[in-house]
Structure 1
Amino acid sequence: MKLLQSLLLTLLLFTIPTLIFAQDIMPPTIPWSGKSKSLLVDKSSLWVTPFELSDGLESPTYNQTMDWIKKLVADSEYLELVTAGISEQGRPIQMVIASLDQDFSAKGLSTSKKPLILFQAGIHAGEIDGKDAGMMLLRDISQGSKLSLLEQSNLLFIPILNVDGHERRSEYGRVNQRGPKEMGWRTNAVNLNLNRDYTKLETAGIQAVTEVINSYDPDLYIDIHVTDGADYQYDITYGYVATGGYSPEISNWLSTHFQPEVDQALKDNGHIPGPLLFAANGNDFSAGNVAFSFSPRFSHTYGDIKHIPSILIENHSLKPFEQRVLGTYVFLEQAIKSVGNHFETLQKAVAADSNQPKESIPVKFKFREIAADSMEFLGVASSKVKSEITGAEYVKWEGKPITQSVPSIFMDVPELSVSVPKAYWVPVEWTEVITKLKQHGIQMETLSEAKELRVELSTVTSYSMGNQPYEGLMRVQRFELDKTYRTMTLNPGSVRVGTGQALGELAVILLEPESVDSFFQWGYFNSIFSQTEYMETYIMEPLIAKMLSEDADLKKRFEEEKATNLEFAKSPRQVYRWFYEQTPYFDQNWKVIPVGREW
């Protein structure tokens, strides 16, 4: 028996797969000991967070997080916990409200003389730094020495947005990220990326955030992530729509008042702030840093088109978890102070952007022909190594600080703009589109009785679809349009979406087909491509003969088409099709996008 057990144990040992942890083979890190370490409390403290108890190595589960937060809220008159939504797997998406005035209502907070800041963590659930930083900050506000922060701003804090992805956690959550020990998953329970969902609103998480934004009307929106990609010295990188966006006055406020103060606070606490960083060559920064123009499917660009000052934080994935969390804390604390100190000028910027003229707006951007300038780049030394496995070269990071001068490559030149009509009309039968417009907070008039109206419509003359689903939808890719005027019959329940409102730009982005985030390109009108009625050849032959005998102009156009299009002349199918399209039997709604423009 013992011999059999020994053999079985030996067999088991040889069949267990080798455990490989990316944490053990990551590039070397630069030693760090910043002043922000003083934010950590002793493990004996009554309100020590799970993050602090683990020496900055771990982040608590959903249940552990919520249990800790519920106890904190129950012990403070300045905090309240509300449910912002329910996830696909049935978990509450919780939000903490902090108010010195103890007015936790949406109406009270949206009309308060104090600014309101919304910050969220875990939209990509493995990138969870903001959760642990927010827990520490709320602890120090409600139980420590920082209650005065609530004299400057009211707060909304969503500790975990992608709650289902958060619980798909393991030591194999994110291969390129240095901690925490267990990390959640990037996408939600149905494998959708929440930070690609701000225009199409397919996920419970982004539906919840949109409802919070519409109800509470925050004055600053912060979305906290962790990067992937190359190595560099910066630990807290962040950005906003600085150029090429829809809120230029807000962008100016962020660059003039907000960024200098936040950067200084981070530097004072031993962190190295930087802009959003994307290597132009995909490997290192020798070819420059790219400042992309993100479409409004992303959080900070969605905020920009809604005229909400919005920040995307991207902590550096190769920096230790503790360093990233503490840097996030410093960022959030200074954000509260800066918005409070400059709130009046911020309000003026928001008002100016909300009321700007809307004759035409860009719907697609391209790169500048010449790099904007160069930036002093705090990089990390690297070398090119030839792989013994593939034979190709790859970048090896060496953990040594270097300073470089690299080009700044901006993608902020309008490539395509559209004229803005007075209003759009959406027929009642396109219920899903109307519902999404309402979820965005866009104002509209709803018909109570039928109406006939002459409007401009777009007809798709050619198109191609994506070869695979993107974020669960089949997108329309290359296409061409014709625009013509027609009289539409609009039944009760159809809506008129005026563009003179504050969210007029968002309405254009969603309803103009040329926009990369339009409902058309996302595939919500794909059924217009299906042709459902046909004509048999035994009808077509005598009908064509009659048409040619009675219409000399038609006969002339037919002969010209044959003479100039040899493929057409040789194809009976194309000939029948051509004549069918000349008849009133042909489907007049085929490939017509059912959104009318009122000029």
Structure 2
Amino acid sequence: MGRLFFILFLLTTTGALAQQTPFEHSNKKETATYTEVIHHYQSLAKTYPQAKLITYGPTDFGQPLHLLVLSKDKVFDPVAIRKSNKRILLINNGIHPGEPEGIDASMMLARDLLKENKLPKNVVICIIPIYNIDGSFNRGSTSRANQNGPIAYGFRGNSKNYDLNRDFIKTDSKNSQSFQEIFNTWQPEIFVDTHTSNGADYQYTMTLIPTHKDKLQPLLSTYLTQTLVPSLYQEMEKKGYEMIPYVNSIGETPDQGITGFMESPRYSTGYAALHNTIGFMPETHMLKSFDKRVDATYKLLQTYIDVVVRDAKLIGENKKKADEAVALQQNFAIDWKLNKKESTPLMFKGYAAKQKPSEVSGLDRLYYDRNEPYTKEIKYWNTFEPALTVSKPIAYLIPQAWTKVVALLKLNQVKVQQLSRDAVIPVEMYYINDYKTATRPFEGHYLHTAVKVNPTLQNLPCYAGDYIVYVNQATNRYIVETLEPQAVDSFFNWNFFDAILGMKEHFSAYVFEDTAAELLKKDPALREKLEKEKAAKPEMAKDAEAQLDFIYKNSSYNEKTHTRYPIGRLLKEQHLTLK
């Protein structure tokens, strides 16, 4: 009855702002529903002219994505804000609605900043109230079996059962499209995506995943590691919440050490890095009480604001220089590997990991003894090295048939031009030599990995309306990491181009036998090539079909576009007539 009364109170409140959020009203045991969250922000926007709730595109659930903008001087145009040299901080909440601390912390933080007239002059704060609106409506209390509260919460998957923190490149959801519209319209310098952890037990309430230092543009990486992250740790310790890097254990427990997290572009912070935005994924500890988790998140968001205000000028200069550097950058790492030889010592506050008989199986089971806390030095492996690097072309040529590719490039502020007339253009084309494909679907896709390519120079027929993307832009990393098929989260690996992997024509053996015999008579080099192949593969000598197939694939009859990646790489400057 109390909850129902509170909702009715919210819905009938006009002008005067409700003093408490649902979290506070419930004695800090409940998280707000979508309806309560949006009404809260509508009330703020109605009460305070420094706040504006903007409606963006749809989600898979049918509700639009919202953005609350807090601007001290009441300017809500992102272009005008950037021209006035203000920084933009974007906070994203509820990408996993079962991890709702950021939802409630942001509601209170926005209210307090407005009510206490504490909005900064040089920073505009943008808040996505709930990103996975779909999952927030799928409310229950058991889907996160290891989590200590709140009483009820949303579900990780959206209404298509996608994990939206894997959807920033493939963009299967409308949520992702609308998020990318917001991100690229506002172009934040700092991005924070709030979460709750799973995993080991330890003493910390808050853990932190920054954009990985080794993949971030070096100027941004230096500021991140030497200034921003140390400031966050120092200030949070003063506020009563000592932090630790996200506990990604190398063994069963943290005692053996932890590793950094190399987030690929499918994740929110990996996506942000493609745009030279410093991203963070704070992860509160699932076993700490919900009120403490919300409080830690509130104080961390407060700390982000304070540090961005303090360093606003430097952050802006770094972003501008990073954009300029990336536009000129020639080589790009598109895959990474952990350096297992290089570690640093890390003081870690954990609990003793022990074994005892399981009441379920009778076998030994792991448990953490909270009566035996410890502080000890463990190893922290946080250095990643490029596993694969590519040199950018001058431009990529994209046939106009690949409409989703072009739409996503445009959505991400990539300058895309079109040919105004037909032309034959000398380019480098990739043939997909080898790849592995997952045997089970992941987020709706059978992902490709371990891609091997064979680059060949060809004269590519292009047509009026085909697209060209010059790789001289601040968005170069987005361009390269989506269009190079060997990149971890390339469009190819997400199955955008699977149609090229199947042959459309072949032969009937009884007919092609005579053609193949004639080819071998006329082409001694082909016969020699066949004999070498048979010598290398003795089983082939007993397989007539395999020999015919080899001849077919090494003749002019072979399908020239089979396994040919359709996007060309322009390696030399050439005058092209563009629209």
What is aligned with 1:277?
Answer: 247
What is aligned with 1:505?
Answer: 477
CA contact (8 A) 2:395 2:468 kept: yes
The match for 2:299 among 323, 327, 330 is 330
Give the distance between the partners of 1:382 and 1:463, measured in 2 at CA. 41
Residue 317, structure 1, aligned to residue 289, structure 2 = no
Give the distance between the partners of 2:524 and 2:111, measured in 1 at CA. 85
Residue 384, structure 1, aligned to residue 355, structure 2 = yes
Give the distance between the partners of 2:250 and 2:528, measured in 1 at CA. 56
Residue 149, structure 1, aligned to residue 119, structure 2 = yes
Q: Superposition RMSD on alpha carbons, in Å?
A: 1.8
Alpha-carbon distance change, 383 to 556 in structure 1, aligned in 2, over 3 angstroms: closer
Deviation at 1:45, TM superposition (A): 9.0
The match for 1:225 among 195, 199, 204 is 195
The residue type paired with residue 268 of structure 1 is K
What is aligned with 1:133?
Answer: 105
What is aligned with 2:256?
Answer: 287
The match for 1:351 among 320, 323, 328 is 320
The match for 2:152 among 165, 182, 191 is 182
Deviation at 1:71, TM superposition (A): 1.7
Deviation at 1:561, TM superposition (A): 3.0
Give the distance between the partners of 1:254 and 1:558, measured in 2 at CA. 57
The match for 1:438 among 407, 410, 417 is 410
CA contact (8 A) 1:245 1:305 kept: no
> Which is further off, 578-587 or 224-233?
578-587
Equivalent residues in 2 for 1:43-62, closer than 5 Å: 46-62=18-34
Equivalent residues in 2 for 1:533-548, closer than 5 Å: 533-548=505-520
Give the distance between the partners of 1:499 and 1:220, measured in 2 at CA. 24
Alpha-carbon distance change, 260 to 373 in structure 1, aligned in 2, over 3 angstroms: closer
CA contact (8 A) 2:509 2:545 kept: no
The match for 1:470 among 435, 442, 445 is 442
The residue type paired with residue 415 of structure 1 is A
Residue 117, structure 1, aligned to residue 65, structure 2 = no
Post-superposition Cα deviations, 1:198-248, rounded to whole Å, max 9, x if no partner, equal 222222222222111211121211111110111111111112134321322
Equivalent residues in 2 for 1:443-458, closer than 5 Å: 443-458=415-430
Runs (4 or more) in structure 1 with deviation over 4 Å come to none
Give the distance between the partners of 1:580 and 1:402, measured in 2 at CA. 68
CA contact (8 A) 1:240 1:251 kept: no
What is aligned with 2:233?
Answer: 263
The residue type paired with residue 86 of structure 2 is K
What is aligned with 1:554?
Answer: 526
CA contact (8 A) 2:61 2:159 kept: yes
Alpha-carbon distance change, 366 to 392 in structure 1, aligned in 2, over 3 angstroms: farther
CA contact (8 A) 1:365 1:411 kept: no
Alpha-carbon distance change, 262 to 411 in structure 1, aligned in 2, over 3 angstroms: closer
The match for 1:88 among 31, 35, 60 is 60
The residue type paired with residue 360 of structure 1 is N
What is aligned with 2:489?
Answer: 517
Give the distance between the partners of 1:313 and 1:568, measured in 2 at CA. 57
Can you give the 5+ residue segments of structure 1 that lack an aligned partner in the other structure?
1-43
> Which is further off, 346-355 or 480-489?
346-355
Residue 172, structure 1, aligned to residue 142, structure 2 = yes
The residue type paired with residue 330 of structure 2 is E
The match for 1:198 among 157, 168, 172 is 168
CA contact (8 A) 1:463 1:478 kept: yes
Deviation at 1:478, TM superposition (A): 3.6
The match for 2:133 among 158, 163, 169 is 163
What is aligned with 2:6?
Answer: none
Give the distance between the partners of 2:233 and 2:122, measured in 1 at CA. 19
The match for 1:247 among 195, 208, 217 is 217
The residue type paired with residue 321 of structure 1 is F
The residue type paired with residue 281 of structure 2 is L
Deviation at 1:455, TM superposition (A): 0.7
Residue 296, structure 1, aligned to residue 268, structure 2 = no
Give the distance between the partners of 1:336 and 1:558, measured in 2 at CA. 68
Residue 370, structure 1, aligned to residue 341, structure 2 = yes
Post-superposition Cα deviations, 1:16-47, rounded to whole Å, max 9, x if no partner, equal xxxxxxxxxxxxxxxxxxxxxxxxxxxx9941
Alpha-carbon distance change, 293 to 46 in structure 1, aligned in 2, over 3 angstroms: closer
The match for 1:361 among 329, 332, 346 is 332
* Structure 1 residue matching 2:465: 3-state secondary structure: coil
Give the percent of matched residue pairs that are identical in Structure 1 and Structure 2.
29
* Structure 1 residue matching 2:214: 3-state secondary structure: coil
Give the distance between the partners of 1:407 and 1:276, measured in 2 at CA. 13
Alpha-carbon distance change, 61 to 571 in structure 1, aligned in 2, over 3 angstroms: same
Give the distance between the partners of 1:496 and 1:393, measured in 2 at CA. 61
Instruction: Provide the aligned length of Structure 1 versus Structure 2.
Output: 553
Deviation at 1:345, TM superposition (A): 1.1
What is aligned with 2:461?
Answer: 489
The match for 2:563 among 578, 586, 591 is 591
Post-superposition Cα deviations, 1:342-363, rounded to whole Å, max 9, x if no partner, equal 1111122212322224221211
What is aligned with 1:38?
Answer: none
CA contact (8 A) 1:257 1:338 kept: no
Give the distance between the partners of 1:161 and 1:558, measured in 2 at CA. 58
Give the distance between the partners of 1:155 and 1:135, measured in 2 at CA. 13
CA contact (8 A) 1:152 1:336 kept: no
The match for 2:185 among 215, 219, 222 is 215
Post-superposition Cα deviations, 1:450-473, rounded to whole Å, max 9, x if no partner, equal 221111111122333211211111
Deviation at 1:391, TM superposition (A): 5.4
The residue type paired with residue 109 of structure 1 is I
TM-score (structure 1 length as normaliser)? 0.89
Give the distance between the partners of 1:428 and 1:205, measured in 2 at CA. 25
Alpha-carbon distance change, 243 to 257 in structure 1, aligned in 2, over 3 angstroms: closer
What is aligned with 2:5?
Answer: none
Deviation at 1:85, TM superposition (A): 2.4
The residue type paired with residue 423 of structure 2 is K
Alpha-carbon distance change, 416 to 478 in structure 1, aligned in 2, over 3 angstroms: closer
The match for 2:79 among 101, 107, 112 is 107
Give the distance between the partners of 2:374 and 2:536, measured in 1 at CA. 64
Deviation at 1:564, TM superposition (A): 3.4
Alpha-carbon distance change, 577 to 52 in structure 1, aligned in 2, over 3 angstroms: same
Give the distance between the partners of 2:72 and 2:452, measured in 1 at CA. 55
The residue type paired with residue 114 of structure 2 is S
> Which is further off, 215-224 or 63-72?
63-72
Give the distance between the partners of 2:18 and 2:449, measured in 1 at CA. 56
* Structure 2 residue matching 1:155: 3-state secondary structure: strand
